[in-house]
Amino acid sequence: MNTTYKYLPIRFYVIAFVLTWAFWIAAIFTGRSFADSGVSLSLMLAGLLMPSVTALYMVFTSKSTALKKDLRLKFVGLFRVKPLNIVISVLTFAAVIASSILISTLFGQSLDQFSFTDGFSFAGGGALALIAIVLAAALEELGWRGYAEDSIAFYCSWWKESIIFGGVWAVWHLPLFFIPDTYHYNIFHESPLYMINFFISVVPLGFIVTWVYVKNNRSLFASIIFHFFVNFLQEKIAMTNTTKCVETLVLFIAAGIVVATNKDMFFEKRHIGRLLQE
């Protein structure tokens, strides 16, 4: 089995960004809400698909048997998943939200935030919004964990990888702030500070996502479960945007604890150049 494949992170990210942003910028120029326009919705979903399409392109044009097998096992290798780790990660994020709401009361926010919202923060609620959340988790993870994250970690520690990937992942969302009625559009038009907070918050979240991924033996299934849970709670718990700024601080603390309790995982370099070896 060929295990000498070298990942190509620059090629992946250039292709993924160009394709994603091409569709999303086109959606911006329609000037219409994705919930009210089939064209805008199609363009937005097409952009969302591009990291996954790029990952599949990179894998299946690589001529590497090891890389193709690795992607397959990320999907069907349920033996990789550690249920207890998934439960711990889900409870960790739930604790982040609960702590953020409690701390926010010091700034005049209400405990009513512990309730569920009636809908979603973007237009086209109900079944359409739920489908969008499921698709976002599944499609993003195929791209990011299917190739993107490994392509960086192949050359450095998971600590450094988490910093690089968190920053790149945050910037990838940029066009969404200009597509009418997306979550990102709504918070940007409420206050540019909330947009800045979003970009900052993605970095510590990147550490937690990496922790879930690596602790579950680089399982896509585990990553999709966690990503869906994060997206769903962020949408359905009635947190104000002010509280989400508090949440960013709590995320940094949580990420610090995760790193401190998993030092070997984040700082070891044994995996460098060897991700595809059994």
Helices (H) and strands (E) in the chain, counts: 12, 0
Among residues 140, 141, 161, 247, which one is catalytic? 140
Q: Report the distance separating Cα 186 and Cα 235, nearest Å.
A: 13
Q: Is 140 in the active site?
A: yes
- From 141, 161, 173, 278, the catalytic residue: 173
Query: What is the distance between the alpha carbons of residues 240 and 243, in angstroms, rounded to a whole number?
Result: 5
Task: Return the ∠ at Cα 181 (arms to 178 and 182), rounded to 5°.
Answer: 70
Nearest CA-CA partner of 223 in 89, 121, 127: 89
Helix H or strand E encompassing 88? helix 83-104
Rounded to 10°, the helix 192-215/158-172 angle is 140
Q: Which residues are catalytic?
A: 140, 173
